[in-house]
Structure 1
Amino acid sequence: MDWRDWELFCEVVQHGGFSAAARVLGHPKSSLSAAVQRLEANLGLRLIERTTRHLRLTDAGQTIYQRVRPLFAALHDTHGEALAMSSAISGTLRIKSPYELGAHHAGPVAIELMRYYPDLAIRIDVEHEIVSPVAENYDIVFAMLEQPLPSTGIVIRKVSSLERGLYAAPALLEKLGEPRTLEELARLPMLIGPHDAPWALTTPAGVTEHLTVQKARLVSSNADIRLQAALAGLGVLRVTASFTDAAVAAGLLRRILTDHRCEPLNIHALLPARQFVPAKVRCFLDALDVHARGDRVEGA
């Protein structure tokens, strides 16, 4: 009996279909289909009704999934805890991160760590949607504070706060005028993310005010798309300072309202709830903290 076929059947059901499971696991869709077909042949049961639009479990498939899935979940937890008892930095570290954090923080840290630890492989999926690390089989899911976070089966740990600023192209400021107050800023077109709360800015007098965006010219979860729009002079961008260093140095963007302080971008790590945190996860989070402070990442 091939227990791997049982596990792959559970993965297909958990992710809602063969294509979705193939993307998460990194397996060909055909191999997952073959595994389920072998399992059905060995059991003499039809487990999944396949249609062109969706996947539906048979009664037998539903019963087997409900009984078997917790067993594999427990097995993976035990395996992860056993690995966590070791100090070896090895295996595959699976990370999901928003673009802004992934491109300018998680990515550089991953590259540095792979230089120091030849047995460590890292997968970084750069997407804005927040998912459960347990359900999607990630070791770390990075999330922004503004977004609602999952609340079950996970540990939420604040890992860093990144400085943010307001930026605009010189051409836009020449055309519409550079704002000196929040009232003047509110009259300019904005480039925002879909989950943006009202922008919190602390005035020189130490008073925190909230700017509700009235004129969103662009809404995108991808910070690079918002950056491109800012460079084209289409609106004001609020983003982490490190994301715009090159454009500011080249004179393509200018930081505005410099006497106001933007609320920092608070980054949280969503981790599967387990007794032991794997060494590779601890190492990555420690290195990310060093990177956020502007120091060089060093090996263990």
Structure 2
Amino acid sequence: MDWRDWELFCEVVQHGGFSAAARVLGHPKSSLSAAVQRLESHLGLRLIERTTRHLRLTDAGDTIYQRVKPLFIALHDTHGEALAMSSAISGTLRIKSPYEFGANHAGPVACELMNRYPDLAIRIDVEHEFVSPVAENYDIVFAMLEAPLPSTGIVIRRVSSLERGLYAAPSLLEKFGAPRTLEDLARLPMLTAPNDAPWALTTPDGDTEHLAVHKARLVSSNADIRLQAALAGLGVLRVTASFTNAAVAAGLLRQLLPDHVCEPLRVHALLPARQFVPAKVRCFLDALEAHGRGGALEEATRDS
């Protein structure tokens, strides 16, 4: 019996089809199909009904998936905990992150660590929506949490509080005029993320006011798309300062109301609740903290 066929069957179901699973795993689609066919032949059961567009589990396939998938999750957790008992920085670190944080913070740290540890591989998936690190088998899920999450099976750690600002292209300001007050700002078109609450800004007097953003010109969870729209003069962008440094330096964007303070972007790391945190996870989070302080990688990894 080849248990790898069972695990590949679970991966196909989890990712919604052979093509999606092949992209995620980096395997040929044909090898995944062959694995499922071998498993069906071994069991004498039809597990998946294949159509041109959709994958549908049979009753037997659904029953087997529901029973077997938790076993593989537990196996991977046990493997990770066993590795955590040593100080070796190796294996594959699986991360999910929103684009803005991933591109400017998690990405650079990942590159630094891979240069330092040749036995470490890192996979970073970009996803704005919340996913569970337990259900999706990630080592770290970075998320901007606006509301409390159920704590079952998850450890939540605050890792970053990133400065944000309001930015617009000179062409937009030439058309509408540079805003001097929040009332002026409210008359400009906005570029927002799907789940944006009213933008909170602290005035020079220390009062916190909220700017409604329900009539946005563009809505996208991808910060780079919103940045492109801002550069094209289509609206006001609220984003982390590090994401716009190059455009501001080149004169392509200007900061608006610099005497007002935007609510910072608070980033949390969601980890599977384990008795031992793998060394690769500890190392990454320490390096990320040093990156946020502008410290050297050696400082973060010296004692890892």
TM-score by length of 2: 0.92
Amino acid across the alignment from 1:193: A
Instruction: Call closer, same or farther: CA 1:177–1:11 in 2, change over 3 Å.
Output: same
Write the deviation string for residues 113-154 of structure 1: whole angstroms up to 9, x where unpaired.
111111111111223232222222221111123478575432
Write the deviation string for residues 169-224 of structure 1: whole angstroms up to 9, x where unpaired.
12222221111111111011111111111100011111111111154111111111
CA–CA distance in structure 1, aligned partners of residues 203 and 159 of structure 2: 26
Instruction: Call closer, same or farther: CA 1:272–1:27 in 2, change over 3 Å.
Output: farther
User: What residue is the counterpart of 1:251 in the other structure?
Assistant: 251
User: What residue is the counterpart of 2:19 in the other structure?
Assistant: 19
CA–CA distance in structure 2, aligned partners of residues 35 and 178 of structure 1: 61
Could you say what secondary structure the match of 2:297 adopts?
coil
Contact 1:204 1:259 in 2 (8 A): yes
1:72 aligns with 2:72: yes
Contact 2:9 2:32 in 1 (8 A): yes
Contact 1:188 1:215 in 2 (8 A): no
User: What residue is the counterpart of 1:220 in the other structure?
Assistant: 220
CA–CA distance in structure 1, aligned partners of residues 191 and 86 of structure 2: 46
1:91-130 equivalences under 5 Å are 91-130=91-130
Contact 1:109 1:288 in 2 (8 A): yes
Contact 1:231 1:253 in 2 (8 A): yes
Mean CA deviation greater in 51-60 or 40-49: 51-60
Contact 2:12 2:21 in 1 (8 A): yes
1:171-250 equivalences under 5 Å are 171-250=171-250
- The sequence identity of aligned pairs, in percent, is 87
Contact 1:159 1:289 in 2 (8 A): yes
Mean CA deviation greater in 125-134 or 93-102: 125-134
Instruction: Call closer, same or farther: CA 1:152–1:232 in 2, change over 3 Å.
Output: same
Gaps of 5+ in 2: none
Could you say what secondary structure the match of 2:252 adopts?
coil
CA–CA distance in structure 2, aligned partners of residues 221 and 239 of structure 1: 12
User: What residue is the counterpart of 2:264 in the other structure?
Assistant: 264
CA–CA distance in structure 2, aligned partners of residues 91 and 204 of structure 1: 49
Amino acid across the alignment from 1:169: A
Instruction: Call closer, same or farther: CA 1:193–1:62 in 2, change over 3 Å.
Output: closer
CA–CA distance in structure 2, aligned partners of residues 36 and 163 of structure 1: 48
Instruction: Call closer, same or farther: CA 1:271–1:54 in 2, change over 3 Å.
Output: same
1:37 aligns with 2:44: no
Amino acid across the alignment from 2:259: D
Amino acid across the alignment from 1:143: A
Amino acid across the alignment from 1:130: F
Could you say what secondary structure the match of 2:178 adopts?
coil
Instruction: Call closer, same or farther: CA 1:16–1:150 in 2, change over 3 Å.
Output: farther
- The runs of 4+ residues in structure 1 deviating greater than 6 Å are none
Contact 2:73 2:137 in 1 (8 A): no
1:81 aligns with 2:86: no
Contact 1:130 1:149 in 2 (8 A): no
Contact 1:145 1:265 in 2 (8 A): no
User: What residue is the counterpart of 1:57 in the other structure?
Assistant: 57
CA–CA distance in structure 2, aligned partners of residues 192 and 270 of structure 1: 24
CA–CA distance in structure 1, aligned partners of residues 16 and 237 of structure 2: 37
Amino acid across the alignment from 1:95: I
User: What residue is the counterpart of 1:142 in the other structure?
Assistant: 142
Contact 1:192 1:237 in 2 (8 A): yes
User: What residue is the counterpart of 1:278 in the other structure?
Assistant: 278
Amino acid across the alignment from 2:175: K
Mean CA deviation greater in 4-13 or 104-113: 4-13
TM-score by length of 1: 0.94
User: What residue is the counterpart of 2:291 in the other structure?
Assistant: 291
Tell me how large the CA RMSD over aligned residues is: 1.8
Contact 2:94 2:139 in 1 (8 A): yes
Contact 1:47 1:58 in 2 (8 A): yes
Contact 1:24 1:136 in 2 (8 A): no
Amino acid across the alignment from 2:198: P
Contact 2:196 2:213 in 1 (8 A): no
Mean CA deviation greater in 15-24 or 89-98: 15-24
User: What residue is the counterpart of 2:155 in the other structure?
Assistant: 155
1:165 aligns with 2:149: no
CA–CA distance in structure 2, aligned partners of residues 122 and 17 of structure 1: 24
